[in-house]
Amino acid sequence: MAKVELESRIKNLPLWQGDIQIAPLGGGITNVNFTVLDRRRKYVVRVGQDIPQHHVMRFNELSASRAAHAAGLSPAVVYAEPGIMVLDFIDGETLTDNSIRTPEILARIIPLVRSCHKDVVGHLRGPVLIFWVFHVLRDYAAQLASLNSPHATLARDLQKTGDRLETDAGPFDMVFSHNDLLAGNFLDDGDRLWLIDWDYAGYNSPLFDLGGLASNNGLDQTQEIHLLESYFETALTDDLWHRYSAMKCASLLRETLWSMVSEHISAIEFDYAAYTAENLQRFRESYDLYLQS
């Protein structure tokens, strides 16, 4: 949908009070987002249809967003209709990978992630999804083959690596996970942190979020050990480190294949090819270290 059409649809939503001001909100690589100011307050409008290629279903995102707000982690959903979700605007700073690596911020993020895993489930209503990364990897490889992608042969080999990681990462616990812990999905309003954008939420191993948090934001091994010991509130064992390291590799593999598929299907202006190359390199480096451990 063209920008003019999107803005027209947003203007006609029934919740606004008085005249409104609409402005694009950058940064998203899955959805198109806007801010809207009416005479009452400011909002964020998320626009996006289902993306079955990425296992993104908007009924699931809406359920997770409402539950995350009820658990005290995320801004309130004030209105929703097919393809559109309106949330309270949080006046805060978006975190960066550099800020997440600081001891002060990382110490605040760990309980936020633990609350996501333990508290959101009590507020979920209706059907929600499982986000099983190893199934996602197999599906991505199949999609790239059907698209005759230049990545298809590599993706098939990477998927086989994912199958080996699935064996190595078990046995598995299951929690309700965010599954997209990029720095841009954390906000700091000066008093507290918020966790936003629940597109990929679903039941998963907690190690996927922890591995994704580490790999997406460049945590070093000392920080990773602190992350695991703080999250599980116990000393790190060799078994846990091995399973976590396998899942961290899987999180990088998912980001790589996600970007390969996005190169074919996304209309958002973003350099997916560069993102693919960056994450493939990071995966290979992480997997080499994993094989040496």
- CATH number, domain containing residue 21: 3.30.200.20
Model pLDDT, residue 31: 81
CA dist 255 and 87 (Å) reads 26
Closest CA to 283 of 240, 251, 241: 251
User: Do both 16 and 153 map to the same domain?
Assistant: no
Domain end (from 50, 72, 88) = 88
CA dist 17 and 39 (Å) reads 6
User: Do both 243 and 121 map to the same domain?
Assistant: yes
Model pLDDT, residue 2: 67
Model pLDDT, residue 268: 87
Largest interatomic CA distance in the chain: 62
Closest CA to 77 of 25, 123, 21: 123
Range of the domain at 124: 93-292
User: Do both 17 and 100 map to the same domain?
Assistant: no
pTM: 0.95
Model pLDDT, residue 30: 76
- Which residues are within 8 A (CB) of 57 and not within 5 positions of it... i.e. 6 or more apart? 50, 129
CA 240-209-78 angle, 5° bins? 155
Domain end (from 88, 116, 149) = 88
User: Do both 71 and 112 map to the same domain?
Assistant: no
> Cβ(227)–Cβ(210) under 8 Å?
yes
User: Do both 224 and 269 map to the same domain?
Assistant: yes
Question: pLDDT per position in the chain (293 positions), as tens?
Answer: 567 788 899 999 999 999 999 999 977 777 889 999 999 999 999 999 999 999 999 999 999 999 999 999 999 999 999 999 999 999 999 999 999 999 999 999 999 999 999 999 999 999 999 999 999 999 999 999 999 999 999 999 999 999 999 999 999 999 999 999 999 999 999 999 999 999 999 999 999 999 999 999 999 999 999 999 999 999 999 999 999 999 999 999 999 999 999 999 998 889 999 999 999 999 999 999 999 98
